[in-house]
C-alpha cells in the first residue's frame, strides 16, 4: 500500500511514514499546490494510491463517483502533526489494511477510528 499525502498536510508526513516502512509521497512532488481535489483523486485512482487527507472533499468525490477506488484516510482531528497523529495513523493502517486495499474510507476521529467500505 502506498499513500499520497494531500496538500493540506505537511510534507513531513512522507519522512515519518517512510521511517515506519510505509511508502508515501506528498502531492507537492507530483503536481501543483493549487491542484483541484478532483485531479489529486484521479491521480491516486490511476496510480494505486490511498489518499491521506485532512480535507472532507474526498469523501464527497467518492460518493459522487460511486467508486471502489481510491481508498481515502481522513483525519478529522485538530492536531494533524506527524508526531501527534502518527501513531494513530499507523495503527489504522494495520487495523484496516484489508479494507483499504479493497476500497474504503477510513476516518480518524478523536478517540476512535472507523472504516466504511466503498462505494458509499
> What are 41-76's pLDDT values in tens digits?
999 999 999 999 999 898 888 888 888 899 999 999
- Residue 27 sits in which domain range? 2-117
Angle at 105 between CA 99 and CA 110, to 5 degrees: 110
CA distance 64 to 105: 14
The C-alpha cell that represents 40 in the structure block: 489529486
How many folded domains does the chain comprise? 1
**pLDDT reported for residue 106:** 96
CATH number of the domain residue 95 falls in:
3.40.50
Largest Cα–Cα distance of the chain, in whole Å? 35
| pTM score, whole prediction | 0.96
Q: What's the mean per-residue pLDDT of the chain?
A: 95
Amino acid at each position: 500500500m502506498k499513500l499520497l499525502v494531500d496538500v493540506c498536510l505537511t510534507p513531513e508526513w512522507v519522512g515519518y511514514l517512510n521511517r515506519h516502512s510505509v511508502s508515501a509521497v506528498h502531492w507537492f512532488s507530483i503536481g501543483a499546490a493549487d491542484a483541484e481535489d478532483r485531479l489529486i483523486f484521479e491521480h491516486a485512482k490511476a496510480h494505486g494510491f490511498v489518499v491521506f487527507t485532512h480535507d472532507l472533499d474526498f469523501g464527497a468525490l467518492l460518493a459522487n463517483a460511486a467508486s471502489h477506488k481510491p481508498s481515502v484516510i481522513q483525519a478529522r482531528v485538530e492536531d494533524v502533526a506527524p508526531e501527534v497523529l502518527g501513531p494513530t495513523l499507523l495503527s489504522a493502517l494495520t487495523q484496516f489494511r484489508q479494507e483499504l486495499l479493497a476500497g474504503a474510507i477510513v476516518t480518524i476521529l478523536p478517540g476512535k477510528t472507523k472504516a466504511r467500505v466503498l462505494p458509499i
